[in-house]
Each structure stands twice: as C-alpha cells, then as structure tokens.
Amino acid sequence: MNGFDRIYRTLSGKIADCVPFMPKIWVKLACEITGTDIRDVISDSFTAMKVILDAGKMCDADGVRSFWFPERKTAYDSEGNLMEIRNGKSVGRIDLKGGLSTHFFEDNTVDIEDEYTIAFLQFYKQKSPLAISIKDASKIKVPSKSFYRSLGFDSKIKKLLIDSEGLAIAGSCGSATLSFYSYFRDASEALMDFYDKPELVSAIMDKGVEIALEKGKFCIDNGLKILRLNDSTANMNVISPAIFREFIKPRFTEICKELHGYDKEVKIYCHNCGNILPVMEDLVETGLDCIAPLDPLGGFSCADARRSVSPDFPLMGGMDTLSFINKDMDGIVNEALECIDSAGKKSFILGSGCVLPPGSKPELIRTAAKAAHNSYID
C-alpha cells in the first residue's frame, strides 16, 4: 500500500497493511528540512504547498497537510526584520517566530469585505478588532469556489497530487469556529464574548461555516479526498464543555453533514489541540471520520482517548511534539509504540500531538515512521 491507501483505509474503518504515520509538518520546519528559504514560501503559494510535501517524503510520512498562502513581497529592514512590501513601502512586520502573519503598522489595513483578505485572514493582523457588531459580521466576505480557481489553486492542487507519489494530501477547510472568531477579536475579548456578545459570536462563526464549506468543496472538486477541519483553540484548556457544545459542536456538525453530502467518499478529521477528552463523544457525534491530534501536552494520553470512544473509531496523533527535539531514537520508538498499542493498531494513525516545532530532527521523525510501518496489522 502507498501512504494514501493506508491513511484513507484507516479513516474509512478498514484495515491497512501497517499503522500509517502522518506528522504535523508546517512550512517553517519544512524549510529547515528541505533547505528552502522562508521568503520563497511567503512569496509563492505553490512553494508553500510543495515544501511540506517534499519534507514529508524526506521523513517517510504517509501523508501531509496542505496550506494556502497569500503571495507577499518582502524585504529585510536595517534591524533584520522581514517586512511586507506593498507599492514599494513597508506596511508591516512578518512574524517569523510565530505564524508568518503580517502585523500591520496601521489600523484599518485589514478589509473584511475583501475576498482575498478573508481567504488568507490568518496571515493578516492589526491592533484593533476587525468586528465589533452584527453589522460588521454581515460585511465579512465569503470567498467562493470560483475565487480560489481565479488564483490558480485548482491547478496547484492537481500538480501537488501528481507530485505526491502516493502520499496522502489533506486539504484544509480552515477554521469556522473559535480560531476563526479570534481573527476578528482580541483573544481575551473573544472568550468574554461567549458571555457578553453571544449573538456576535454566532454571526461571525456562521460566516466561518460558509467560508469553510466553500473551501472544502473546492478541495473536493479538485481531487482531495481527505479534509482537515481546524480549531486549535476550541479545547478544554481554553473553553468549557458547555461552550463547546453550544457554539462549536453544531457548526462542526453542519460542516461534516454538508461536505459528506457533497461527496460521500470524502473523509474529514479535526485538528483540536489541547485537552479534548471531555468532548470526545461530542466530536464523534458531529460526523467527523477521525479525531486528532490527541495532544499529550493537553494532559491526556492515547489510552485515555481510546477509552472515550469505540475501539474502531479512527484516531490520529498522540506523540509529544517536543520529543522530536529532546529524545533519542530509542525514546522515540518507545513513545510511538506506546501510542500505537494504547490507541489500537487497526484504527489509529500515528502522528504528532500538534505541529512539529522548528528544530525537530528529521532522523527522529523517520524513526517514528519506521516504528509505525513495522507495526504490521494481522
């Protein structure tokens, strides 16, 4: 079997030849592994997609995630900061230590009525909130499938699939819920809004659902059979189970129902970092095909996760991200095997509990892959 077959079969509740391995590689680590200049990723959206695929191949992964970047012109200032350049002028600093977002110098730079801006909203930051009222929420533009086509992402996805050499590529629906909402409000404001401005929360998250559905359908139209629904902040280290059930769960359910109706063969997994143990059953009930990434830094284990769901429900992740910096090969093997044994070989995809940090060692990632691939399934 190739990587796609292993992962897709596991997500489908079928038996693969061995345990699949899908670490969470993002562009920063991918640039380290492949020797790519980070500016090439920032300036060219296909490079941002391809560099992760190439890093996955070099690390013996069975699958990788795909991210869509805006294309930005850049230059270093006199102090070595990387700046975004528009019309020959520096408009903001790009956060090289974080998510590669441009932090604009001036407010009102982020236009929520602009399709391009909303399509890549995670990469644009300004100090003032982007929305303070229901009226503001109504202005949020929903990028259509035709918009992504106009940017050439259809041909980019198809080229990536040709280059994949059998690796699974997970397309992104983005985030429709708390992580999406947090783009519009300060982090502390966003959390208080659940109590003080629930109508605003719902209005913006409903826009997030529309955006996620358009993006998901575009991925499906262009041959991607595995989709990721992200909400890194909607975990029980940040919010309560009650808030999750009121605001997050129904929107996850709507997205899963709509996309499964659009293509019954598509498989959808979530990326919810942190402690999700109290809402594991709720996540299953949304219609997701798999729960990830089982972050041990959230205070629970693969064994805890498996006890919360049925033995045959697919799970993914489990390994401590810091292990890929701090452990030796024996330590990596032992941790990988513990995850596999406690989660169950037949319904588990080994991976990292969240994105692998810069400095993660490729030889340790390959060691985890070998441990998974040597875990043959009877």
Residue 89 within any structural domain of the chain: no
What's the pLDDT at 187? Answer: 83
Residue 97 within any structural domain of the chain: no
Residue 295 within any structural domain of the chain: yes
Residue 75: count of CB within 10 angstroms of its CB: 12
CATH code at 294?
Answer: 3.20.20.210
| Residue-wise pLDDT tens digits, 118-145 | 999 999 999 999 999 999 999 999 999 9
Host domain of residue 10: 3-70+130-373
What's the pLDDT at 43? Answer: 98
Task: Tell me the mean pLDDT in the region 346-360.
Answer: 97
What's the pLDDT at 343? Answer: 97
Residue 347 within any structural domain of the chain: yes
What's the pLDDT at 197? Answer: 97
Residue 218 within any structural domain of the chain: yes
pLDDT band of residue 376 (cuts 50, 70, 90) is confident
What's the pLDDT at 344? Answer: 95
What's the pLDDT at 177? Answer: 98
| Residue-wise pLDDT tens digits, 67-106 | 999 999 999 999 999 999 999 999 999 999 989 999 999 9
Give me the chain's average pLDDT, please: 97
What's the pLDDT at 378? Answer: 73
| Residue-wise pLDDT tens digits, 171-195 | 999 999 999 999 999 888 999 999 9
Residue 14 within any structural domain of the chain: yes
Residue 116 within any structural domain of the chain: no
What's the pLDDT at 323? Answer: 98
What's the pLDDT at 133? Answer: 97
Count of structural domains within the chain: 1
| Whether residue 331 has pLDDT greater than 90 | yes
What's the pLDDT at 186? Answer: 86
| Whether residue 377 has pLDDT greater than 90 | no
| Residue-wise pLDDT tens digits, 232-241 | 999 999 999 9
pTM: 0.97
| Residue-wise pLDDT tens digits, 283-323 | 999 999 999 999 999 999 999 999 999 999 999 999 999 99
Residue 125 within any structural domain of the chain: no
